[in-house]
């Protein structure tokens, strides 16, 4: 229950000893924290708390709240919840037991994968640059024995925390995990060693890890130890959750998200250049969620000169991203400290990828967006549409540059998500086709 002291679980798995802490307090964890789900606790979604104002940011808090000036960060090895209050779709995977209809065991695995997805998504800001992974240990009837999520770098991985929470009950149980367990030594021992030592009978994995150090080696190690391994459960959903990490490991480059706000007639500003505000407070708050999720934010020098933005995270809890400006920045610009980039955008992505950055949020104007779009560098578009009309031809368009010569040359995408945010609508669009390029210019 809330207010109870933290519970520390120590488990000796093989030759290594692992320590996991389940956080049952709200102290120091921010405005929307919740207790980590512990063994035998029913899986349920916690309500989201009020929007909190980030100290030191410009603008006003959407809910009128103030801040006492203290900067609060998640405590080490604890899951920090920033999850929006939307239910995850339940997987339709039915191949866990071939030639069998729906069973309680299958249902338990599907529910466990849904819970693991939530745990992983909750942990992704805290865990980066590692992937936000979730893990759940269940018995043969689908009862939850232990849960875990990726901790801060250097802390335990999701599987280790889940096994530590389950304790001796893990022997003969099923481990459900969103990403293939690692089998190499890094800052922590291999997760496969912990799984094998715990006596897990079956491991259910959503997606394999394309990291060259893993890439099937974890699955091979588990099967070699006599553990049953099932892959592909809710792979599409988890691939969306881990899109930035998977893209980075496959291409060597960050995953690029372009954000735009527009009227119904495709204008980002009126004829006089004014644009504050096209969208309402709910949509603008959602943009700060995108910023908090991004490792890097990129804008053009023209935007900096015209708007003098800070490009910080406000209205939601999260760290400020690295700020990069395509061009030179005035000495007194509020975006400083920042990185000024004078070369091509594809070279920037290669450098950022080599530095370990997983994601980039592109918040440029029509010229910058057109250049990145023409170079096929945008992996996802987040388009906020307000029920407003500028009219005429003088307003600023979404994209600059050359127009398609004919309808056959029009760029096509797929709308993969829509969401109402107050009076506005957010469309999530991905390219209909995409050839991935690696950091050396080749294709994958």
pLDDT recorded at residue 289: 92
Given a cut of 50, whether residue 348 has pLDDT beyond it is: yes
More confident residue, 47 or 209: 209
pLDDT recorded at residue 237: 94
Instruction: Using a cut of 0.75, tell me whether the model's pTM lies above it.
Output: no
Region of poorest pLDDT, from 28-37, 266-275, 423-432: 28-37
pLDDT digits (tens, 9 = 90+) for 154-194: 899 999 999 999 999 999 999 999 999 999 888 889 999 99
Given a cut of 60, whether residue 205 has pLDDT beyond it is: yes
What confidence category does residue 201 fall into, taking pLDDT thresholds of 50, 70 and 90?
very high
What confidence category does residue 213 fall into, taking pLDDT thresholds of 50, 70 and 90?
very high
Average pLDDT on 300-329 reads: 90
| Residue 363 annotated to the active site | no
What confidence category does residue 343 fall into, taking pLDDT thresholds of 50, 70 and 90?
very high
Region of poorest pLDDT, from 106-110, 226-230, 236-240: 106-110
Region of poorest pLDDT, from 134-148, 201-215, 301-315, 376-390: 301-315
pLDDT recorded at residue 94: 31
pLDDT recorded at residue 29: 27
Pair 256, 147: CB distance under 8 Å: no
Average pLDDT on 7-29 reads: 37
What confidence category does residue 239 fall into, taking pLDDT thresholds of 50, 70 and 90?
very high
Average pLDDT on 37-64 reads: 33
Q: Which listed residue (41, 140, 159, 382) is catalytic?
A: 159
pLDDT recorded at residue 434: 58
Average pLDDT on 102-114 reads: 74
More confident residue, 307 or 354: 354
Average pLDDT on 324-342 reads: 94
pLDDT digits (tens, 9 = 90+) for 353-410: 999 999 999 997 888 999 999 999 999 999 999 999 888 887 788 888 778 888 888 8
Residue with tokens 């980066």: 128
φ, ψ (nearest 5 deg) of residue 297: -120, 135
| Average pLDDT over all residues of the chain | 77
In the chain, what percentage of residues exceed pLDDT 70? Answer: 73
pLDDT digits (tens, 9 = 90+) for 112-146: 999 999 999 999 888 989 999 999 999 999 999 99
Given a cut of 50, whether residue 9 has pLDDT beyond it is: no
């Amino acid at each position: 229950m809330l207010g109870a002291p933290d519970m520390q679980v120590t488990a000796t798995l093989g030759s290594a000893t692992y320590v996991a802490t389940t956080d049952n307090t709200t102290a120091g964890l921010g405005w929307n924290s919740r207790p980590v789900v512990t063994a035998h606790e029913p899986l349920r979604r916690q309500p989201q708390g009020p929007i909190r104002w980030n100290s030191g940011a410009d603008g006003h808090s959407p809910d009128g709240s103030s801040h006492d000036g203290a900067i609060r960060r998640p405590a080490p090895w604890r899951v920090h919840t920033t999850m929006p209050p939307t239910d995850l779709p339940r997987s339709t995977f039915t191949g866990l037991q071939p030639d069998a209809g729906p069973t309680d065991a299958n249902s338990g695995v599907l529910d466990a994968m849904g819970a693991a997805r939530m745990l992983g998504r909750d942990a992704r800001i805290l865990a980066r640059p590692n992937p936000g992974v979730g893990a759940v240990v269940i018995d043969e009837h689908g009862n939850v024995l232990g849960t875990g999520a990726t901790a801060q770098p250097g802390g335990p991985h999701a599987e280790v925390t889940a096994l530590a929470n389950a304790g001796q009950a893990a022997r003969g149980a099923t481990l459900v995990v969103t990403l293939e367990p690692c089998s190499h030594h890094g800052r922590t021992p291999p997760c496969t060693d912990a799984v094998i030592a715990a006596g897990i009978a079956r491991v259910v994995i959503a997606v394999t890890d394309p990291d060259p150090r893993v890439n099937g080696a974890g699955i091979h190690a588990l099967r070699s130890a006599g553990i049953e391994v099932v892959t592909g459960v809710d792979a599409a959903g988890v691939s969306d959750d881990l899109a930035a990490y998977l893209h980075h490991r496959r291409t060597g480059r960050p995953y690029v998200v372009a954000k735009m706000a527009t009227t119904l007639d495709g204008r980002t500003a009126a004829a006089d250049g004014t644009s504050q505000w096209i969208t309402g407070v709910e949509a603008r708050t959602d943009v700060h969620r995108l910023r908090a999720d991004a490792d890097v934010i990129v804008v053009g020098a023209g935007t900096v000169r015209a708007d003098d933005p800070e490009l910080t995270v406000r209205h939601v809890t999260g760290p400020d991203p690295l700020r990069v400006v395509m061009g030179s920045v005035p000495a007194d610009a509020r975006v400083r400290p920042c990185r000024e980039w004078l070369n091509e955008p594809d070279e920037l992505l290669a450098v950022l990828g080599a530095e370990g950055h997983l994601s980039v949020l592109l918040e440029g104007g029509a010229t910058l967006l057109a250049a990145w779009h023409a170079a096929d560098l945008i992996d996802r578009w987040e388009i906020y549409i307000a029920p407003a009309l500028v009219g005429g031809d003088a307003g600023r368009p979404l994209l600059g540059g050359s127009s398609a010569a004919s309808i056959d040359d029009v760029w096509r995408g797929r709308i993969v998500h829509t969401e109402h945010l107050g009076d506005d609508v957010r469309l999530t669009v991905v390219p209909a086709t995409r050839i991935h390029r690696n950091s050396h210019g080749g294709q994958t």
